[in-house]
Amino acid sequence: MAQVTADERSVLEEPAPPATAPPQKVSGRSWPRTVLLAIGALLFLFPFYYMLMASLQLKPDTSVRGAFPTSGFTLDNYRSINGRVNLVQSLVNSGIFTGAVILCTVVLGLLAGYALARLHFRGRGTLFAAMLLVQVIPFQLLMIPLYVMIVRSYGLADSYLGMIAPFAINATAVFIFRQFFMQLPDDLFSAARIDGAGELRILWSIALPLVRPAVLTAVLLTFIGPWNEFLWPFLITKDADLQPLAVSLANYISSVAGRAANPYGAILAGACVLAAPAVALFVVFQKHFTASDIGSGVKG
Amino acid sequence: MLTTVLGRQPLGLAFAAPYAVFLVLIFAYPVGLAVWISFHDYFFTAPGVAVDRPFVGLDNYTAVLGDPEVHKAFLNVAVFLVINVPLTVVLSLVLATALNGAVRGRIFFRVCYFVPYISASVAVVAVWLFLFSNGGFVNQLLGPLAPDPSWLINKGLAMPLIALFVTWKQLGFFILLYLAALQNVGKELYESAAMDGAGKLGSFMNITVPGVRPATTLVVILSIITGANLFTEPYLLTNGGGPNGASASPVLLMYQRGIEQGNPDTAAAIGVLLMIAFLIIAFVNKRFLERD
Amino acid sequence: MNMKKTTTLGLGLALALSTAACGGGNGGDGGSEATSATGPIKIWLSNNPEELAWGNKMVEAWNKANPDQKVTAQEIPAGKSSEEVIGAAITAGNAPCLVFNTAPAAVPQFEKQGGLVPLDSFADGKEYIESRTGDAATQYQSPDGKYYQLPWKANPVMIFYNKDLLKKAGVDPENPPLSTYDEFLDTSDKIVSSGAAQAAIWPAPSSEFYQSWFDFYPLYAAETGGTQLVEDDKATFNSTEGKAVADFWATMYEKGYAQKEAYKADSFADGKAAMAIVGPWAIAVYGDSVNWGVAPVPTSTGIAPEDTYTFSDAKNVAMYSACKAQGTAWEVLKFATSEEQDGALLEETGQMPMREDVASAYPDYFKANPEYQTFADQAARTVEVPNVTNSIEIWQDFRDDYSKAVIFGETDVDSALADAADKVDGLAGQ
C-alpha cells in the first residue's frame, strides 16, 4: 500500500471512478440506476432502521405504525449495557483479538494466496484442497476437539493466544487472495520475471497494488469473523477481563433479555453497540474498496 | 532434479509454509479426529476416563444415511442453495455494477448494503422475527395476502425465507467482492464495445460477466459454503429448524446430535458426508466456471 | 427405607474406597484423596442478575471466613449454551469445581463422560442431600443409586392468569374455571372469541428439546399423579393419560387457543396471552405489571389442587471431576445450600430452594410474600425429568413427534405417541 501516492489519492477520491463506466453514460442516464440502488438500499436499511428504533423504545410495538415512533424514546437500553459491561476493556480485548487475526491473515495469508495462484510448487493442489476443506468443515464438528487440543495440548486457556489461534489465518481470505491474483493477466508476471524481479518484489510492487480492493474486502471479512464471534472466545476465556465485546454483550443479552420491559430493545441495543465500530471503520475505509488503477500498479 | 521434487517455483513452498503449518497445527488433529470418530462408537470423556470405543466400520454412516431427518436436512440445504446461490450471484453482480458507476450518494448506498453484513446474526435475526412473525410488520402490510400459516411456521416458506435472509445478510460482502473484481476489467473493453454499438446490456453480458469470472467462482463457492454451514438461522430464526424440521440443516442436526445429545460419532458422520458432498460440488463447479 | 439408605451409603463408600485404591479410574481424580483435599476453587454461576448478586455475596461470605480456601466465581450464560460450555470443559479437564446451574437433564450425559463427582463419595454426602431435600431427592438419584447432583432450587410450574383479560372475556377473574380440560377449553374459547387476547395461553411451540417441559410434561405429571416420562427404562406416556394430555393440547392448537408460532417476547407480559405456565419467579417478574392470579395445571377430571403434581423445573449443583480441592468444594456446596444461604437465595431471586417444607423454614419471607405459599405447597408435589441415559435425545425425539401431531396436526396423536414411545424405549434401555 506504500504505492499510493498523494497524486493517486486525489484521482481516487473523484466522484467518478476511473474504471468501467464509459464516460458518456455518467450524467443524466444514471437515474434508473439510482432508483434501482435506492430501492435496494431501502430494503437493506429498513431492518437496521427498525433495529435502531426498537433499541430506543421502552416497549416493543409490532404494528406498522410502531415502526415509525414519534414518542417514548429512551436511552435506558444503552444505559443498562454500560452499567453491566466494561465497555472499554471489552473493546480493547476485541481490538487485540481482531487486530492480531487481521495481521496474521494479511501477512501470511497473502503470501499463501499468492503462492497458490501464481507459483508452481509441489503440494499446491493438496494445500488448495486443504484450504477449501477447512472452510467447509462446520465449526460445530471441530469445536470440542479443537477446544481440548488448545486447552490441553497447548495450554492456552484464558489467554489471547488461545482465542486467536483457530482464527489466525482466515481461509476464506486466502481463497479471495488466490482468486484475485489469478484474475491478473499472465503477461504482467512473465514480463516482471524476465526483468529479473524476485517473487517477493513482484508480489509487493506489482500484484498487490492491483488487488488492493480485494485485499481490503478480505480484511473486512477477516474483521467480521472475530469481531462477531461469540462461542469460541467464550469457551476459551471465563475471565471477564479477557472477554471481547461480542462475548460481554452476548452475556448481557442472555441475562437481561426476557425480563427487560423491552427485551428486544435490550438485544438490539447490544447489537447496535457491537455494530457501531464496524460501521464507522467501513465508512472511513469504504472509498478504498474500488480504489485501484491498473496503470499505476504497473508503473510501481 | 530439484524442480521435479519441489515444483517449478520452490519459493512457493516458502510462501505457503506458514499457512500450511497453521493448518497442520490447528486443524489436522481435530479434522482427523472427527473422521476417526465417525468410524467408532465414540463419546467425549473427561481426561483419565478409560472407556471402550470399538471400531464400528460404516455403522454410523448407515445409521445416518437411513435417517429420514438427515435426508430432510440435506434436501433443505439443496432448496436453500437453489434459491440462495443464483440470487446472490445475480443481485451482487448487478448491484456492484450499478454501484461502480457514478451515482449520486454512492457512499451512502454502499454503507446501506454493507450494514446487514457486519451486524451480529443474533440481532438481525431478532429484527427478521419481528418483521416476519404472524402479526409482524410484513404480514400487516400484506393484509389478506399474508401467507397462512405464517412465514416461519409454514413448511413451504420457512426454508426459502431463510435463503432470502442469508442472501440479504451476505450480499454486501459479495457486492464488495464484485466491486473489487470490476476494477480489473479494462475500461478500454467497454469503450470499444460502445464504439461497436453495443448497448448497456450487451456490454454487461459480453464484457462484465466474463471479465469477473474468477470472482464468480469465488462467490458461488463461498455461498455454497455458507449453505453447507447453515446453522445460526435455523437455530434462531425458526427455533431449531421448525416447523417440524422443515428448515433443519445438517449442521443443526450435528449440533443437536453431537453437542446437545452427546453422540459425536453420528454427528461426525454427518459432517464427513457434508464435506464430501461439498467437495464434489466445488470441483464440478470449478471445472465448469474456470474452464478457459 | 432406612435399611436401603444405609446399604446404598455403604456401597457408595465401598466404591469410593475401591476407586481410591485403584489410583483413580472412573472420574479421573475421584477417590478419597481428592475428596478431602482443600485449597482454592473455582465455581460457575448463572449470569442472571439476581442469582449473580446472591452468588457474589455468598462467595464473599465464604472467603471472609476461609481465607486459605479462596473461592473464585465466574459467570456462564443461563441459556442454551451453558451445557455446551460445561461439556467442552469436562472433556478438556478444566471444568470448575462447582456449577450452580447444572440442568438435571444434562446430568446423565456429564456422568457418562466421567465429568461428575458422585456426592456420595463424601462421608456425609447422601445424608446431607436427603435430609435437606427430603423424599423428593430420590428423583435426582442416578440409575446406579448415587447422587451426581445436589437438588438445589425448583421452580414448580403453575398456571398464571391475567385477571383483567379474563374479566374482559366474561370469565370470573377471581375463580376462573380452569381445573378440568373442559373448563380450560371453555375458558380459552371465551378469551379468544371475545378478542380479549390473541391466545388463551402461549407455550413456545418450537422444537427445542426442553420445550415439552412447559406444555406436555406438567399436565402429564398432574394427570398421572406424578409419573415421570420414562420409568424403569420404559416410556410411560403411550397411555390413556398421555393421550388425554396430548389430545387436550392438540385441541388447544387446533382451535387457535394456543398459537403455533413462537412469540418473540413475553406473550403474558404483553397481554397477547391471558395465561402462562410459569414458576414462582413470575411473581417477581409480573408482580406489579400484570393483575395476576395463579391456579394449578388442569387435569381431565379436575384433580384437587392439593393433589395436583407438576414439573419441578429444577436447577442443581454438581461437582466436576476436574476439581482438585474437592474437600473444599464440598464444604462450599454445603455452605451455599445452608439454611441461611437458601434464605438469601429465596430473598434475592424468588426461586425456591429444594428444602423440605420451605414455608416453615422462612416464615418471615412467606409472611411478606403470601403469594409464594401457593408455589411452596406445589413444590411438595413435583416431578423431575427422568434421570436416564440419552436423556436429551429422548426429549428431542419426543418433541419432534409431539410437534408434528399435537402442534401442527400433521399426524395422528395416538400413532405419534406410539412412535415416540418406541424410540424412547430403544434409547432408555441402552
Q: Are residues C415 and C302 in the same domain?
A: yes
Q: Please give the share of chain C, as a percent, with pLDDT higher than 90.
A: 66
Q: Are residues C240 and C282 in the same domain?
A: yes
CA atoms within 13 A on the CB side of B163: 21
CB B123 within 8 A of CB A267: yes
Q: Are residues C131 and C74 in the same domain?
A: yes
Mean of pLDDT over chain A: 77
Rounded to 10 degrees, the C-alpha dihedral C134/C136/C138/C139 comes to -160
Mean of pLDDT over chain C: 87
Answer whether residue A24 shows pLDDT above 60. Answer: no
- Chains that contact B by 3+ CB pairs under 8 Å? A, C
In chain B, residues 9-48 whose CB comes closer than 8 Å to chain C: 43-48
Residue of B nearest to C112 (CA): B45
Greatest Cα pair distance, chain A, in angstroms, is 70
Which of A147, A157, A251 lies at the smallest CB-CB distance from C47?
Answer: A251
Whether residue B122 and residue A179 make contact (CB cut-off 8 A), yes or no, is no
Domain with B127 in it: 58-290
**Of A85-99, C188-202, C257-271, which has the strongest mean pLDDT?**
C188-202
Whether residue C47 and residue A254 make contact (CB cut-off 8 A), yes or no, is yes
CA distance A298 to chain C (A): 52
Query: Is B28 among the domain residues?
Result: no
Confidence (pLDDT) at A60: 62
Give the confidence band of A30 by pLDDT, cuts at 50, 70, 90.
Answer: low
CB C105 within 8 A of CB C385: yes
CB pairs below 8 Å between A and B: how many? 351
Which of A22, A169, A179 lies at the smallest CB-CB distance from B214?
Answer: A179
Whether residue B239 and residue C25 make contact (CB cut-off 8 A), yes or no, is no
- Domains of chain A, residue spans: 75-299
Residue among C285, C196, C200, C306 nearest C248 (CA): C200
**A66 contacts chain C (CB < 8 A):** no
CA distance A163 to chain B (A): 12
Q: Are residues C57 and C167 in the same domain?
A: no
Q: Are residues C212 and C74 in the same domain?
A: no
Q: Are residues C215 and C111 in the same domain?
A: no
**Dihedrals phi, psi of A17, to nearest 5 degrees:** -75, 155
Confidence (pLDDT) at C19: 34
Confidence (pLDDT) at A102: 94
Confidence (pLDDT) at C15: 35
Query: Is B142 among the domain residues?
Result: yes
Give the confidence band of A263 by pLDDT, cuts at 50, 70, 90.
Answer: low
- How far is residue A74 from each of residues A80, A262, B282, C49, C236, measured CA to CA in Å? 11, 11, 50, 22, 52
Which of B47, B112, B274 lies at the smallest CB-CB distance from A44?
Answer: B112
Chosen for mutation from C99, C206, C207 (greatest number of chain B CBs closer than 10 Å) is: C207
- Tell me the average pLDDT across A63-81: 73
Which of the listed residues C329, C353, C377 is the one where a domain comes to its end? Answer: C353
Q: Are residues C299 and C346 in the same domain?
A: no
Whether residue A214 and residue B177 make contact (CB cut-off 8 A), yes or no, is yes
Query: Is B241 among the domain residues?
Result: yes
Give the confidence band of C240 by pLDDT, cuts at 50, 70, 90.
Answer: very high
Domain with C221 in it: 158-311+386-428
**A235 contacts chain C (CB < 8 A):** yes
Residues in chain B with pLDDT values less than 70: 1-5, 102, 289-292
Query: Is B52 among the domain residues?
Result: no
Residues in chain B: 292
CA distance C111 to chain B (A): 9
CATH class of A75-299: mainly alpha
CA distance B182 to chain C (A): 42
Answer whether residue A221 shows pLDDT above 50. Answer: yes
Distance CA A184, CA B214 (A): 10
Which of B44, B135, B259 lies at the smallest CB-CB distance from C113?
Answer: B44
Query: Is C107 among the domain residues?
Result: yes
CB pairs below 8 Å between A and C: how many? 61
Q: Please give the share of chain A, as a percent, with pLDDT higher than 70.
A: 78
Q: What is the pLDDT of residues A126-148, one digit of tens each?
A: 998 888 888 888 887 888 889 88
Which of C48, C74, C88 lies at the smallest CB-CB distance from A235?
Answer: C88
Query: Is C378 among the domain residues?
Result: no
Cell numbers at A257, concatenated = 433479555
**B68 contacts chain C (CB < 8 A):** no
CATH of the domain at B157: 1.10.3720.10
**Of A80-94, A196-210, C129-143, which has the strongest mean pLDDT?**
C129-143
Q: Which of A75-89, C133-147, C365-379 has the lowest mean pLDDT?
A: A75-89
Chosen for mutation from A137, A164, A292 (greatest number of chain B CBs closer than 10 Å) is: A137
Give the confidence band of A259 by pLDDT, cuts at 50, 70, 90.
Answer: low
Q: Are residues C141 and C196 in the same domain?
A: no
- Chains that contact A by 3+ CB pairs under 8 Å? B, C
Structural domain total, chain C: 2
Q: Are residues C307 and C322 in the same domain?
A: no
- How far is residue B97 from each of residues A18, B86, B103, B175, B208, measured CA to CA in Å? 14, 16, 11, 9, 8
CB pairs below 8 Å between B and C: how many? 110
Which of C47, C49, C94 lies at the smallest CB-CB distance from A151?
Answer: C94
**C44 contacts chain A (CB < 8 A):** yes
Whether residue C94 and residue A240 make contact (CB cut-off 8 A), yes or no, is no
Answer whether residue A297 shows pLDDT above 80. Answer: no
CB A217 within 8 A of CB B173: yes
Residue of A nearest to B24 (CA): A130
- Residues from chain C that touch A255, judged by Cβ atoms under 8 A, are 47-49, 52, 77-78
- Tell me the average pLDDT across A18-43: 64
Answer whether residue C127 shows pLDDT above 90. Answer: yes
Q: What is the pLDDT of residues C74-115, one digit of tens each?
A: 888 666 668 888 988 898 888 999 999 899 999 999 999 999
Residues 6+ apart with CB under 8 A from A161: none
**Dihedrals phi, psi of B75, to nearest 5 degrees:** -60, -40
Structural domain total, chain B: 1
Answer whether residue C181 shows pLDDT above 90. Answer: yes
Alpha helices in C271-405, H assignment, sequence order: 281-286, 326-336, 339-349, 358-361, 363-368, 372-379, 391-402
Q: What is the pLDDT of residues C317-333, one digit of tens each?
A: 999 999 999 999 999 99
Residue of A nearest to C48 (CA): A255
Whether residue C49 and residue A255 make contact (CB cut-off 8 A), yes or no, is yes
Q: Which of residues A9 and A241 earns the better pLDDT score? A: A241
Q: Are residues C272 and C323 in the same domain?
A: no
Query: Is B17 among the domain residues?
Result: no
Residues of C engaging B, defined by a Cβ cutoff of 8 Å = 24-29, 83-84, 87, 90-93, 95, 109, 112-115, 198, 204-209, 259-264, 321-322, 390, 392-393, 396, 400, 403-404, 407-408, 410
- Residues from chain B that touch A139, judged by Cβ atoms under 8 A, are 229
Distance CA C145, CA B38 (A): 33
CB C108 within 8 A of CB C388: yes
What is the interface pTM, i.e. ipTM, of the complex? 0.82
Strands C98-102 and C199-201: unpaired
CA angle at B175 for the pair B174 and B180, rounded to the nearest 5°: 95
Query: Is C380 among the domain residues?
Result: no
Answer whether residue C242 shows pLDDT above 90. Answer: yes
Answer whether residue C162 shows pLDDT above 50. Answer: yes
Confidence (pLDDT) at C78: 60
Q: Which of A110-114, B99-103, C28-32, C69-73 has the lowest mean pLDDT?
A: C28-32
CA angle at B165 for the pair B159 and B170, rounded to the nearest 5°: 130
Give the confidence band of C202 by pLDDT, cuts at 50, 70, 90.
Answer: very high
Q: Are residues C180 and C244 in the same domain?
A: yes
Residue among C115, C111, C113, C117 nearest C15 (CA): C117
CB C390 within 8 A of CB C143: no
**B263 contacts chain C (CB < 8 A):** yes
Q: Are residues C48 and C95 in the same domain?
A: yes
Q: Which of residues C164 and A261 earns the better pLDDT score? A: C164
The neighbouring-strand residues paired with C147 are C141
CATH of the domain at C33: 3.40.190.10
Confidence (pLDDT) at A14: 33
**A4 contacts chain C (CB < 8 A):** no
Whether residue A152 and residue C92 make contact (CB cut-off 8 A), yes or no, is yes
Answer whether residue C296 shows pLDDT above 80. Answer: yes
Mean of pLDDT over chain B: 86
What global pTM score does this model have? 0.84
Whether residue C78 and residue A264 make contact (CB cut-off 8 A), yes or no, is no
Distance CA C256, CA C296 (A): 22
- Chains that contact C by 3+ CB pairs under 8 Å? A, B
In chain A, residues 112-151 whose CB comes closer than 8 Å to chain C: 143-144, 147-148, 151
CA distance C105 to chain B (A): 10
